[in-house]
Structure 1
Amino acid sequence: MSAIPQHIIDRQKSALNAAVAVQGSLFGGFEKLVDLNLKVIKATLGEVAEQTQQVAELKDPQEAAAYVSSLAQPNSEKAIAYTKHVYDIVSGVSNELIKLTEAQVAEGQQQVSEAIDQLAKNAPTGSESAVALMKSSLATVSTAYDSMNKAAKQAAEVAESNISAATNATIKATETATKAAATASRSTARRQA
């Protein structure tokens, strides 16, 4: 019976460590989402109790209309903030996974490069062109990976920029709608008075 070579054991340990790191990142992100949702639920329950009390104190339809319009902006801002928090959590987990993947790819490239170098040392005379072709192929694959990685990072930056722009546009639209509803409520109240 032969012993397992140390480099195989090292690769298995490395793969196991990478799997544990991925699981840790995913679980950490899940934990953050659960914590965020618990905080939102707790805050919402308190707000609902407070708003129920305020609704009970309303005396006429104009007050009700003004009250409802006053809730629109804060609620939309809370929804936008919640969405931003969720996006930040998912983005953070994604960035961690990207870093882990980059480390694994770099390690894999290093191992392939070492294997090619070892092959070159033991290759028969006349196989230099085949070894050069393998080294060239590895360099091409590495360059392609780097290009795809840069493109993915740029796409993520564009997506984040678009989310920020959409958030700002939504906030402005909500503010405009809230002001218009308040103006309409005041106008209706004046006409009825």
Structure 2
Amino acid sequence: MTINTEQLAAANKANLDSLVELTQKAFSSIEKLVELNMQAARESLEQTAEQAKAVLAVKGPQELAALQQDFLKPAQEKAMAYGRQVYDIATSTQAEVKKMAEAQMAAAKTQFSTLVEEATKNAPQGSEAAMAMVKTAMTNASSAFESVQKAAQQATSLAETNLKNLGETAEKATKAATKRRA
């Protein structure tokens, strides 16, 4: 079986469409991160100005120590919130890219299966055993890929759970430390 120019053009168009979609997802994610960073920078600048004014109005060391305690908790909470937002952006982008890759893999698998079926129909007499071996190899490769994909999904899920637990633990520890200082 030969690939004609229409099939080649369709494959190139599909690849270009995928590249454009992937690029758009990447830019969207970058835009979200830039927006988040600009918001964080703006809030940080405003907060720093307010804190500087408050420090200049301090009349003694005890008042300064109390003021520092007041500054610490909101800063920790904002840092945790920022980290969660970055994590959310990254995981949503990863999920979109993964979905797109899975669709691409499914399409490629279908195309390959179609090619093998076409080749089987047009195979010369006596090549049935060889074609059966190709089909078996394709089935085995597909099963292996699915197993690897499941293992990767489990590892990703475990990593996400561990990261979430770590964030919650850090947040609890921060709150406990802040309460002890107060």
Given residue 55 of structure 1, which amino acid in structure 2 is its aligned partner?
V
Q: CA deviation at 1:137?
A: 1.3
The aligned runs of 1:68-107 (5 Å cut-off) are 68-107=68-107
Q: Which has the larger radius of gyration?
A: 1
Q: Deviations over 1:104-158 (max 9, x none)?
A: 1111111110111011101112211111111111111211222222222222221
Alignment partners' CA distance in 2, 1:171 and 1:88:
17
1:145-184 alignment runs, 5 A limit: 145-182=145-182
Q: 1:13 Cα shift?
A: 0.6
Residue in 1 aligned with 2:45? Answer: 45
Cα distance, 1:181 vs structure 2 = 2.1
In the TM superposition, residue 176 of structure 1 has moved relative to its aligned partner by 1.9
- Quote the RMSD (CA, aligned, Å): 1.3
2:16 partner amino acid: L
Alpha-carbon distance, 1:5 to partner: 2.3
Compute the displacement of 1:38 (Å). Answer: 0.7
Instruction: Quote the residue 2:10 is aligned against.
Output: 10
- SS of the residue aligned with 1:58? coil
Alignment coverage as a number of residue pairs:
179
Separation of aligned partners in 2, 1:163 and 1:136: 40
Normalising by structure 2, we get a TM-score of 0.92
Cα displacement string for residues 43-81 of structure 1 (whole angstroms, at most 9, x for unaligned residues) = 111111211222122221111111112222221121111
Q: What does the per-residue CA deviation read over 1:167-193, in whole Å, with 9 as the maximum and x for residues that have no partner? A: 1111121122222222xxxxxxxxxxx
- C-alpha deviation, 1:9, in angstroms: 0.9
CA contact (8 A) 1:72 1:174 kept: no
Identity %: 37
Aligned residue identity for 1:123: A
Give, in whole Å, the separation in 1 of the partners of 2:141 and 2:98. Answer: 18
Aligned mates of 1:111, 1:164 — CA distance in 2: 39
Opposite residue 104 of structure 1, the aligned amino acid is Q
Displacement of 1:16 in angstroms is 0.7
Task: Give 2:75's aligned amino acid.
Answer: N
Query: Which letter does structure 1 place at the counterpart of 2:145?
Result: Y
Q: State the partner residue of 2:59.
A: 59
Q: What SS class does the counterpart of residue 134 from structure 1 fall into?
A: helix
Cα distance in 2 for partners of 1:67, 1:179 equals 15
Greater Cα offset, 56-65 or 14-23: 56-65
2:126 alignment partner, SS class: coil
Stretches of structure 1 that go unaligned for 5 or more consecutive residues are 183-193
TM-score, length of structure 1 as denominator length: 0.87
Report the AA paired with residue 101 of structure 2.
T
Question: Contact 1:120/1:131 (CA < 8 Å) preserved in 2?
Answer: yes
Q: CA deviation at 1:94?
A: 1.2
1:120 — aligned with what? 120
Write the letter of the residue equivalent to 1:146. E
- Structure 1 residue ranges (4+ consecutive) displaced by more than 3 angstroms after TM superposition: none
Structure 2: tracts of 5 or more residues without a match: none
